[in-house]
Amino acid sequence: MKQKRKIILSGFLLILILGSGVCYLTMDNSAGPDDAAAWICTDGIDGITEISIYSNEDNQMLSFTKRETSWKGDDGSSYDNNQFASYLAVLGYMKTEQKLEATDSEKQEYGLKAPAYTVRVSYDGGKEFNYNIGKFVDNTGMYISSNGGNSVYLIDVRRARMLEDMVASLYDVALTNVKFDEIRGIQLSVPENDLILMNRSEAPRANGSFYWNIFKPFAWNADTKKVDALIETMKDIGTLKRTKGEVSAEECGLEKDESQLPAVTFYDTYDSELTVYLGKAQGDYVYCKTNYLEGIYLIDKKIQQVMNINTNDIIDTSLYYYEIPSIKTCTVQWLGETYELSAKWVTASEEGNRGQRCCLNGNSITGAEYSSIVSWFSDTKVKQILDSPDEQGEILGTITVERLSPPYEQVLTLSTVQTNDSIIQVNLDQSAAVYIEKQDVESFISSLKR
């Protein structure tokens, strides 16, 4: 039943998009006479069965065939109907703003002597339209030619932008297997380095943003801004370019088993997965293959900015993320003394508003005082994260945090460092370990002695 509702909703959305596009693209200009304008195609969208893009430079053609709910590329790529809706509206109703007769030399000026791309539209009745893509002129539109001859047409900026987007997104293969705005997991695998695994929190922080956890090579918080920048780099790359002619895996450095290749994987909230395996560099690009496309492609060398990241580049250097609304108690044991911070949600009897009642060692304190004390966790920066923690020295104390949401309890164990008595080693749940200044711990303990 859920699947049926999803199909109905998708169909309605597609009709809405197509209707809006067709409405705009078939409107005549009612402001005045439009004698220069002409329609190259008014055959509509329903009968279009195939769209092909030919690259003059690469001497390659890519074709997309209509399926029931998607368009399937002959390279293994697939796009849903919604992604094709605006392209179909342009191609099925191709109106021009101006028609010119051009000599060969004039075609050169319009970018149509040897056009970079040609788009072919095929209908179920056998009819075809070919559009040679020419020069784009800012604030004016784009020059195209159709089905041979000396005629050159100027199409408006909106149609021109859609054609440009179609060629860039389809021929250069847009990275569409995941939604980069909804990434929930990242894996970085470089054979000579540690595997890095990161997951986004299931629930947002109090301020509405999500946070990221590193799970391998050790457990720690990741710097959200740095992870977002990593994802943004992949969004900026956006597409894969096709290779010129056939290339072998050996010459591209992709002959090894996939487990032995450098790779980055993104997972989104829809359980979709995108993996890019990297080979040799080629100028401004790197040879690559993916988990969902057939063949070998080229990806912008900016991908190396992603692959060169190590855990020290993306860790959050704050000792701990202390999210006040989701924490019940914080119990500190230090050199035989015990201190307890608590925050309990209560409802004011008169106004009915919910708030937190904060206490230190059983005595009420203001919210501002509570915040001032626990700000120590985020203000304290770690000196070093230890991939392989040293043997733990003498345990000086623990900090136990009880939370309202997973993980429900976390324990930070504080111990001496045998080689340096000015620093403290902190182990988080016996996984990762860090060094912090001993004087930072002592200042925190002082704030609890009230």
- Res. 33 pLDDT band, cuts 50 70 90: very low
| Average pLDDT value over all residues in the chain | 86
Higher pLDDT pick, 320 / 48: 48
Tens of pLDDT, residue by residue over 35-45, are: 445 899 999 99
pLDDT value for 312? 83
Can you say how many angstroms the Cα of residue 417 is from the centroid of all Cα atoms in its chain?
Answer: 41
Does pLDDT of 3 surpass 70? no
Tell me the C-alpha distance between 77 and 143, whole Å: 29
CA dist., res. 409 & res. 358, Å (int): 19
Beta bridge pairs of residue 282? 285
pLDDT in tens, 381-398: 998 777 655 567 899 999
Q: Return the percent helix, strand and coil in the chain, to nearest 5.
A: 25, 40, 35
Per-residue confidence (pLDDT) for residue 13, from 0 to 100: 47
What pLDDT score was predicted for residue 153?
A: 95
All structural domains of the chain, each given as residue ranges with its CATH number in brackets, are 48-171 (2.60.40), 183-313 (no CATH), 324-449 (no CATH)
R_g over Cα of the chain: 30
Percent above pLDDT 70 for the chain: 87
Instruction: Report pLDDT digits (tens) over 398-437.
Output: 999 998 877 789 899 999 998 899 999 998 876 678 899 9
Dist. CA 150–CA 217, nearest whole Å: 64
Residue 28 pLDDT exceeds 60: no
In this structure, of 5-19, 249-263, 360-374, the range with the lowest mean pLDDT score is 5-19
Residue showing tokens 């290339």: 247
What 3-state class would DSSP assign to 1?
A: coil
According to the model, what pLDDT value does residue 206 have?
60
Cα(389)–Cα(402) distance, rounded to whole angstroms? Answer: 25
Q: Under DSSP, is residue 179 helix (H, G, I), strand (E, B) or coil?
A: coil
Task: Give the 3-state secondary structure of residue 368.
Answer: helix
